[in-house]
Chains A and B, each alone.
Chain A
Amino acid sequence: MSEAPFGRRLLTVTGVDELGAYRVLRVADRDMPQSGWQAGDLHPGQFAMLTAVERWGGGEGERPYLPRAFSVARRTDSEAHFLLEDVGPGTQRLCELRAGDQLWVLAPLGRGFTPPSDGRRALLVGGGVGIAPLAIHQDTLVGGTGAGPQDLQAPAGRVPGVEVTVLLGFRDSSRATGAALLDRAQVATDDGSVGHHGLVTELLAAEIERDPHAIVYACGPAGMLEGVRALCERTGTSAQLALEAGMACGYGACFGCVVPKRGGGYLRVCVDGPVIDAAELEHVDAHAGGAGGTR
């Protein structure tokens, strides 16, 4: 796991690309480590706290005030990518950024995914904007270096021995366009407009039945993650869940982003996670979606 430099860094936006209902924010960053599994590498699932330098505040309700947390969605040689959906004053402001605008970035933070051992298959399960960390996870598992700055499609090649299956769920077709962030994804939509008409956890149940020894890596809304957790508990499948939570600092200072831990007490999503072994949770808390005060 890479340590973050102490203090936020001033970085420049290289571009913002539309991806259906989402935006891919590309930021020039030559200093963040490349993704990998060694100590000192950027681990897939690690995240950044982002603040627009100009006009951070003065939006809806005179917000935003706090930085906003985003998984690194992709790391190229020269850029870090973040996947945005406009769901509140913070994400709205970030969606407005254009090439040349400046950002404060505190990264990389948190604990990321642990790769599968013993040649086990990786089942990547994403929902909505939560597909972001699965893109860099896929890149890293298959040995790709990430897409070029102008190309949102992931590299197609795979390293033998690590089989990766990608299952993504979206509300509708404009969001399902986000599936292009990953390679060869099976898609489910709530409205049936693209792929399987239903929940991504239904696709997951079928995959687990075929291969009970697979490892599940999931990120998405709290309801989806709870579905994944409950399913994996029933089937005895190991699962790593990347959680979201309203967060003020991202580095363990505020104690605001907690989720209940199995057996009592709480985990801080920012420093104990955001990737948490499903076995550590009794359930995925409904509030672990960051809704409300810190979007």
Chain B
Amino acid sequence: MPMPEGRAGLDERAWPRWISVLGRSRAKGRAMSIEFCGLTLVHPIINGSGTFDAIAARRVFGDALLADFPFSAYVSKTITLEPRVGNPPPRLWETAAGLINSIGLPNKGLRGYLAEDLPQLAEIVAGAGAAAGRGPVPLITNVMGASAEELSTLVGACEERPEIAAIELNVSCPNVKTGLDIGADPVQLEQVVSTVRNRTGKPLIVKLTPNTADVAACAQAAEQGGADAVSLINTLRATALAPRRSGQRAGESDGRAGESRGLWLGGGSGGQSGPAIRAVALAQVSAVAALVGVPVIGMGGVQSAVHACDLIDVGATLVAVGTESFRDPAAGSRIALGL
């Protein structure tokens, strides 16, 4: 794979007005300090929630992770009120230019996160910042709940922890009462965000779902509910069938009485990510950025600085890297340096 090329002609004047370019790098690339919801980030590349377990990475790579921490802010995986073990395997299916995952948000629950994971994450982001001669890399905690009440509890708990710089709401969750994804319906989304808004003074980011009729309307609803920023796109709902047995004809069952060919993923369906969704991300980020006044975190299939620039050029303030980190843990640094 060729190394990504920086885009020489990136024109800052075309950037949205809330970006203030505070500094430039001395040597490689053009490291750009960015103001984001009151946080100062050293470059625009962060991670997508659930795509980089900094605690595991610290064990695998040791202090080298801190010396070259790939993200200017670190987003935790999704935390839920109660612990979750996640979906049964298999959890992955490779597609053309991407993969489908059906992980099921395994996490220790709010209490486990606050007691065990958060102190470790705080140490990692402090170490990463110190290695660069700065304060801690801002830590964003992502939370998901099936109701406004659940989300309020989660956000209220995060509000009390000074290690947490900002909160991201995962609203790709069915409402426990209506069964509809909270984030897919603008009316419901605005109500939930406005309820949760009252529980925190920290920056509140709403991670939008792409599995909706009008993502820009949802973004606007989040903004009206009081969100300080929106992030998108989450994975596109997708599924995969178990491989066909040799000689198995189209329409033929797997052999069990009356059953059609089985689904591959243990969770049934999952979410598509990777380069396969990049063009969808560009369209959705563009539509959202054109409509809302709050900053936008763009993501979806970013593999190189060129792709990150594309999202910035359509209005993203920050760009998140997700699936590409699976292929290369240092992808975030590579992309940031190429900007």
Interface positions of A (Cβ within 8 A of B)? 3-8, 51, 53-54, 56-57, 61-67, 104, 106, 109, 245-249, 251-260, 264-266, 268, 271, 285, 287-288, 291-294
Residues of A near B99 (CB, < 8 A) are: 65-66, 248, 293
A-contact bits for B35-47, CB 8 A (1 contact / 0 none): 0000000000000
Residues of B near A259 (CB, < 8 A) are: 89
B330 touches A265 (CB 8 A): no
B60 touches A251 (CB 8 A): yes
The answer to whether the Cβ of B86 comes within 8 Å of any Cβ in the partner chain is yes
A246 touches B97 (CB 8 A): no
The answer to whether the Cβ of B176 comes within 8 Å of any Cβ in the partner chain is no
The answer to whether the Cβ of B15 comes within 8 Å of any Cβ in the partner chain is no
B92 touches A51 (CB 8 A): no
The one of A6, A63, A255, A260 that contacts B106, using a Cβ cutoff of 8 Å: A255
The one of B61, B92, B103 that contacts A6, using a Cβ cutoff of 8 Å: B61
B329 touches A7 (CB 8 A): yes
A61 touches B52 (CB 8 A): no
The answer to whether the Cβ of B283 comes within 8 Å of any Cβ in the partner chain is no
Residues of A near B97 (CB, < 8 A) are: 57, 62, 65
* Shortest distance between the CB of B133 and any CB in chain A (Å): 18
* Shortest distance between the CB of A48 and any CB in chain B (Å): 12
| Most chain A beta-carbon neighbours within 10 Å: one of B50, B98, B328 | B328
The answer to whether the Cβ of B112 comes within 8 Å of any Cβ in the partner chain is no
Q: Can you list 18 pairs linking A and B with CB atoms under 8 Å apart?
A: A3-B60, A3-B62, A6-B64, A51-B327, A54-B1, A66-B327, A247-B92, A248-B101, A249-B325, A251-B60, A254-B326, A257-B91, A266-B86, A285-B89, A287-B266, A292-B264, A293-B93, A294-B94
Residues of A near B62 (CB, < 8 A) are: 3
Q: How far is the CA of A53 from the CA of B3 in the complex (A)?
A: 10
The one of A61, A257, A260, A292 that contacts B96, using a Cβ cutoff of 8 Å: A61
A254 touches B103 (CB 8 A): yes
What 7 pairs across the A-B complex have the smallest Cβ distances? A252-B56, A7-B330, A62-B96, A293-B93, A6-B64, A256-B92, A249-B326
Q: How far is the CA of A256 from the CA of B333 in the complex (A)?
A: 24
The answer to whether the Cβ of B65 comes within 8 Å of any Cβ in the partner chain is yes
Q: How far is the CA of A265 from the CA of B88 in the complex (A)?
A: 9
B64 touches A3 (CB 8 A): yes
4 further interface pairs, Cβ-Cβ under 8 Å (given A6-B67, A104-B328, A292-B243): A7-B330, A63-B95, A248-B323, A254-B101
Q: How far is the CA of A30 from the CA of B91 in the complex (A)?
A: 35
* Shortest distance between the CB of B46 and any CB in chain A (Å): 15
The one of B64, B89, B243, B329 that contacts A249, using a Cβ cutoff of 8 Å: B329
The answer to whether the Cβ of B240 comes within 8 Å of any Cβ in the partner chain is yes
Q: How far is the CA of A51 from the CA of B88 in the complex (A)?
A: 27
* Shortest distance between the CB of B321 and any CB in chain A (Å): 11
Residues of B near A254 (CB, < 8 A) are: 51, 92, 101, 103, 326
A65 touches B95 (CB 8 A): yes
Assuming A3-B60, A254-B101, A271-B59, is B326 touching A294 (CB within 8 A)? no
Q: How far is the CA of A119 from the CA of B96 in the complex (A)?
A: 50
B94 touches A63 (CB 8 A): yes
Q: How far is the CA of A63 from the CA of B95 in the complex (A)?
A: 7
B50, closest chain A residue (CB): A255
Q: How far is the CA of A249 from the CA of B60 in the complex (A)?
A: 12
A-contact bits for B308-337, CB 8 A (1 contact / 0 none): 000000000000000101111110010000
* Shortest distance between the CB of B76 and any CB in chain A (Å): 13
B242 touches A292 (CB 8 A): yes
Residues of B near A67 (CB, < 8 A) are: 326-327
Q: How far is the CA of A19 from the CA of B100 in the complex (A)?
A: 34
Residues of A near B242 (CB, < 8 A) are: 292
* Shortest distance between the CB of A171 and any CB in chain B (Å): 16
* Shortest distance between the CB of A109 and any CB in chain B (Å): 6
A265, closest chain B residue (CB): B85
A258 touches B91 (CB 8 A): yes
Q: How far is the CA of A268 from the CA of B106 in the complex (A)?
A: 11
Residues of B near A265 (CB, < 8 A) are: 85
* Shortest distance between the CB of B242 and any CB in chain A (Å): 7
Assuming A7-B330, A63-B94, A65-B99, is B89 touching A258 (CB within 8 A)? yes
B61, closest chain A residue (CB): A6
Assuming A253-B51, A266-B86, is B329 touching A248 (CB within 8 A)? no
